[in-house]
Structure 1
Amino acid sequence: MESRRTLSRRAALQAALPLLTGFTGLTAFTAQAQTSLGHIAMSVSSPATTLSASQVHLPWTQQASIYEVNVRQHTPEGTLKALALDLPRLKQMGVDILWLMPLQPIGKKERKGGLGSYYSIRDYTAVNPEFGTLDDARMLVKQAHALGLKVILDWVANHTAWDHPWASAHKDWYKLDARGELFPVTFTEGPEPEYWTDVIALNYDKPELRRAMIAAMKFWVREIGLDGFRCDVASLVPTDFWERARAELDALKPMFMLAESDKVDLHAKAFDMTYGWDLAHLMRDIAQGKADAEALRAWVRQQAGPQAPYPAHAYRMRFTNNHDFNSWHGTDRELYGPAFEAMAVLSFTLPGMPLVYSGQEAALDKRLAFFEKDPIDWKTRELQGFYSELLALKKRLPALANGQYGASVELLDVANPQVFAFRRQTQGQGVTVLANLTPAAQRYRWQGQELELAAWQSRLLSP
């Protein structure tokens, strides 16, 4: 049965302005956040043949979106077999790339909580019995490929669990304290010290460690059929290691590589995509009244031109939430309040590849426990249509392609600085977006008319 909220959403759109021709599914959006799009002013030229593998991106990534799967919480069973049953729905929703959080066995020594952190790896080439077996992982990837989905695995190269076999067999592969002993991963650079008490850091000065880590990554490509990796805290591992790993992995199979980092040099030879924390934080600030539409315009201008912080070929991942945000900072409702759907659309259509996190399409409204079983409530999927339309729009319009393959942004003046307006088009096709990024109604001028947008409302038009 449809919820009252869903029915209200549809009714509220009856009087909406004309939307993008042919994109009728936008009736799933609320009146407060119908749609909101944008793109950095980037070159649309074809990549040069001299660019590295991370700069000329695989064709299946160029207009793709990504879905992060929290395997433990995604289904009541929390297994790979149960997840496999959901693959057809994810494909129908429009997902292209599945990012699986770490699947390997979790350390028991110094374990946090009852089940431990996914990021405390005890064996790189096995599957956590909580999730299933290597055969289950192999079958999941095979089923995903049969549906046209690609699969990447979260890879934790910076540290291992205390009881990983390497800690006893190759103690010198780890960072040691002044007494020559293993110690927890420790950060003292910030305002307060931070201790990851369940893991110990690896020492990449050791060539043997580098070879062993790459061999473990190759195992998952060769034996399981992975299409790439999302690399945890990638900037804490030497860049030259990632560059070597990328080259050796690509020799087996062309990879898609995502770094949990925003370091620019990772785009040179190692990674296709880095995290777009800059936009995520700005969207949160706008939703909370700490920034406004002018700040977003300034952000767009900053990304373009010769002083751009990232090269045109750099994919940036855009998101409103992920496993870290949800568990440690807040749900969509906590972070964005009534502005959430507007910010979700920004994350899909501003430059880069958009991410959906497990349960967002079910309007996930709880912080998922990180060290315990805490399944997502799938009783309603009231935002599945919303995300399906965003995914379809992303895939359908060449102007919304990732990196150098998409179009630039032309900022528009609509006689109200509180309304964020821009045009993005290529090859005669594209979109124009008018978005009210405030909690109050705003009037603006468009094509000789004076019109109004409700709080957090936006309109998507043909160019």
Structure 2
Amino acid sequence: MTPRPATPRPTTPATAPADAPRTAADPGPAPAHRTPSLGWWRDAVIYQVYVRSFADSDGDGVGDLPGVRKRLPYLAELGVDALWLTPFYASPQADGGYDVADYRAVDPRLGDLADAEALVDEAHALGLRVILDIVPNHTSHQHPWFQRALAGDAGARDRYHFARGKGVRGEEPPNDWQSVFGGPAWSRVPGEPGLWYLHLFAPQQPDLNWRNPRVHEEFDAVLRFWLDLGVDGFRIDVAHGMVKAEGLPDIGTGAQARMVGAQELPFFDQDGVHEIHRAWRRLLESYGPDRIGVAEAWAPTPERLALYVRPDECHQAFNFHFLRAGWDVAQLRAVIEESMAAATTVGAPTTWVLSNHDVVRHRTRLGSLARARAAALLMLALPGSVYLYQGEELGLPEVTELPDEVRQDPAFLRAARETAGGQEGLRDGCRVPMPWTAGGPSFGFGPGESWLPQPPGWGTLSVQAQTGDPLSTLELYRTALRLRRLLPGLGDTAMQWLRAPEGVLALSRPGLVCVLNTRPAAVEMPAPGELLLCSVPEESRESMEAGAGPGRLRLPANSCTWWAA
């Protein structure tokens, strides 16, 4: 296979409304802020597809690649620039595919290589780029390397972290590290008392030893395999965790490991990871300027996170600090300022995200659908790139009442046995399959039941039920994404804060003013311009002006508005 460039997204949106705003710099074709030479990723909207829960083509209850391919037109119409696919590699599925047994093969439950190639080709034909998840911190315990290591192969063992335990007979783990999923980060090697192996996540996910050159060589080859197939880049799982401190020292606290926190940990955010990312940047650039690396780096501060996006490292890094901010103007403003300042020091774009497959959906986390809709408009108005998680455009809540017997999150399963709860077992609730239609056994997800049960009322939240309804969350997202594409000031451009009443956040972009009211009641302020979009769909300029003084507006509670400045 030879590398094939991605087809750029058409610059004239076929779905743009007839009365969409135009400017002198944008008479209709390419919006002025879409400047390919700056890098498509700098202001891209990238949609995360959790493959197992997106669309099931064969009725086995699990989403697959043919299912994703069938739904690509939906993503093109939604208005995103790219999709990020969670792992679909051959895997025993101990952790939703993040335990990889073969990085060059597709899990037969999810399709085959021909399906992967057809998906990439069709996405490109629709103007969508494709980013794959790569999992370099650990493999599956069924990976051939680890199986050879368990059999005693010394060379294979050096590709992982094996160590003798403490105590007279090695009966205690080699150090005090805890797994993110709860309990010790070490498991005993079967048949060899006193010998242990490291796994920062589930026992079925042994950590690789990135001090071994063979590990580097293997992943270089894996990246080239998928780049040759035509993918546009990689989201790098646990990008901050591949290098462990020399000697694997104790932490000394015995505290539960977390993906991010103020405490410095000898297995996360070690300086040695940056040389790996530099080498991968060189590899990506050998395929041209448009292939990208995206770091899932849970760094303790925005300044540490910025190190992952220096000019010779990753193109983007997920900004989890924004995701973790509460519904509070001071918190939001501080996170936005700190994130942008840190990224600016290295010339990188800031990324924004509200939900993903590892956290509680933001509708539930923020406390209401109104807040979720408002937060989405704020996020889409900020400079840089945006990540959307499947179903957030439908306003899906977290499913909090799943029966224990259907849960598959290893964090939940391990916590149930050991009382420790690394991620509280909450990840199944955000992975419940997408509702596409108002009825059917799985609301259009597939021809049969889904691998996780959907709530009975999800038909009203489906794509079918919301399409064409001007009050729906789906149409809010579609309109916001069209405006983001059409307005020349949205994207990778400057931003400044505006004066606003207490509890209100107001910012200005070239040609746009965005106003967020976090208060539980309406608030008055001067009218900033012509109303473009409001997260409270029944509100119009006329209703906002009613009861307010001349030149003033009453902004709805828990709302966000966009204004043409």
Q: What is the TM-score with the length of structure 2 in the denominator?
A: 0.63
Which whole-Å CA distance do the structure 1 matches of 2:361 and 2:307 have between them?
A: 30
Q: 2:493 aligns with which of 400, 407, 418?
A: 407
1:178 aligns with 2:263: no
2:562 aligns with: 460
2:351 aligns with: 317
1:361 aligns with: 393
2:517 aligns with: 436
1:15 aligns with: none
Which whole-Å CA distance do the structure 2 matches of 1:148 and 1:214 have between them?
A: 27
The alpha-carbon deviation at position 364 of structure 1 amounts to 2.2
1:423 aligns with 2:508: yes
The alpha-carbon deviation at position 365 of structure 1 amounts to 2.9
The alpha-carbon deviation at position 159 of structure 1 amounts to 0.2
Contact 1:229 1:256 in 2 (8 A): yes
Which whole-Å CA distance do the structure 2 matches of 1:456 and 1:243 have between them?
A: 43
Letter in 2 for 1:127: V
1:220 aligns with 2:310: no
Equivalenced residue count is 388
Contact 2:506 2:515 in 1 (8 A): yes
Q: Could you tell me which runs of 5 or more consecutive residues in structure 2 were left unpaired when the two chains were aligned.
A: 1-16, 22-32, 58-62, 149-155, 186-200, 243-272, 300-304, 410-427, 438-461, 467-472, 529-549
Higher share of residues assigned helix: 1
Letter in 1 for 2:206: I
1:372-412, Cα deviation, whole Å (9 max, x unpaired): 895322222233222112222222223222xxxx2222221
3-state SS of paired residue (1:212): helix
2:413 aligns with: none
Contact 1:274 1:315 in 2 (8 A): no
Which whole-Å CA distance do the structure 2 matches of 1:189 and 1:71 have between them?
A: 25
Letter in 1 for 2:54: H
Which whole-Å CA distance do the structure 2 matches of 1:336 and 1:185 have between them?
A: 40
The alpha-carbon deviation at position 165 of structure 1 amounts to 0.6
1:245 aligns with 2:280: yes
1:137-178, Cα deviation, whole Å (9 max, x unpaired): 011001111111100100000000111011134221001122
Contact 2:339 2:350 in 1 (8 A): no
Which whole-Å CA distance do the structure 1 matches of 2:119 and 2:179 have between them?
A: 41
Which whole-Å CA distance do the structure 1 matches of 2:380 and 2:398 have between them?
A: 22
2:45 aligns with: 65
1:281 aligns with: 324
1:339 aligns with: 371
Which whole-Å CA distance do the structure 1 matches of 2:76 and 2:551 have between them?
A: 41
3-state SS of paired residue (1:61): helix
Which whole-Å CA distance do the structure 2 matches of 1:57 and 1:213 have between them?
A: 29
1:235 aligns with: 240
Which whole-Å CA distance do the structure 2 matches of 1:59 and 1:300 have between them?
A: 22
The alpha-carbon deviation at position 360 of structure 1 amounts to 2.1
2:178 aligns with: 188
Q: 1:257 aligns with which of 276, 293, 301?
A: 293
Q: Aligned ranges for residues 365-404 of structure 1 at < 5 Å? A: 365-367=397-399, 374-379=432-437, 380-381=462-463, 382=466, 383-401=473-491
Which whole-Å CA distance do the structure 2 matches of 1:348 and 1:370 have between them?
A: 33
Which whole-Å CA distance do the structure 2 matches of 1:66 and 1:117 have between them?
A: 21
The alpha-carbon deviation at position 80 of structure 1 amounts to 0.9
2:314 aligns with: 271
Letter in 2 for 1:398: P
3-state SS of paired residue (2:162): coil
Contact 1:297 1:411 in 2 (8 A): no
2:89 aligns with: 104
3-state SS of paired residue (2:286): helix
Q: Aligned ranges for residues 120-135 of structure 1 at < 5 Å? A: 120-135=99-114
Which whole-Å CA distance do the structure 2 matches of 1:193 and 1:449 have between them?
A: 60
The alpha-carbon deviation at position 316 of structure 1 amounts to 2.9
Contact 1:185 1:200 in 2 (8 A): no
The alpha-carbon deviation at position 179 of structure 1 amounts to 5.2
Which whole-Å CA distance do the structure 2 matches of 1:146 and 1:375 have between them?
A: 26
Contact 1:173 1:209 in 2 (8 A): yes
Which whole-Å CA distance do the structure 2 matches of 1:22 and 1:62 have between them?
A: 27
Which whole-Å CA distance do the structure 1 matches of 2:495 and 2:74 have between them?
A: 33
CA distance 1:363–1:298, shift in 2 (3 Å): closer
Contact 2:99 2:140 in 1 (8 A): yes
- Structure number with larger C-alpha Rg: 2
Letter in 1 for 2:504: V
CA distance 1:184–1:88, shift in 2 (3 Å): farther
CA distance 1:103–1:345, shift in 2 (3 Å): same
Q: Could you tell me which runs of 5 or more consecutive residues in structure 1 were left unpaired when the two chains were aligned.
A: 1-19, 25-44, 48-55, 287-291
Which whole-Å CA distance do the structure 2 matches of 1:205 and 1:57 have between them?
A: 36
Give RMSD over aligned pairs.
Answer: 3.3
1:293 aligns with 2:273: no
- More relative contact order, 1 or 2 (CA 8 Å, 6+ apart): 1
Contact 1:80 1:132 in 2 (8 A): yes
Contact 2:377 2:560 in 1 (8 A): no
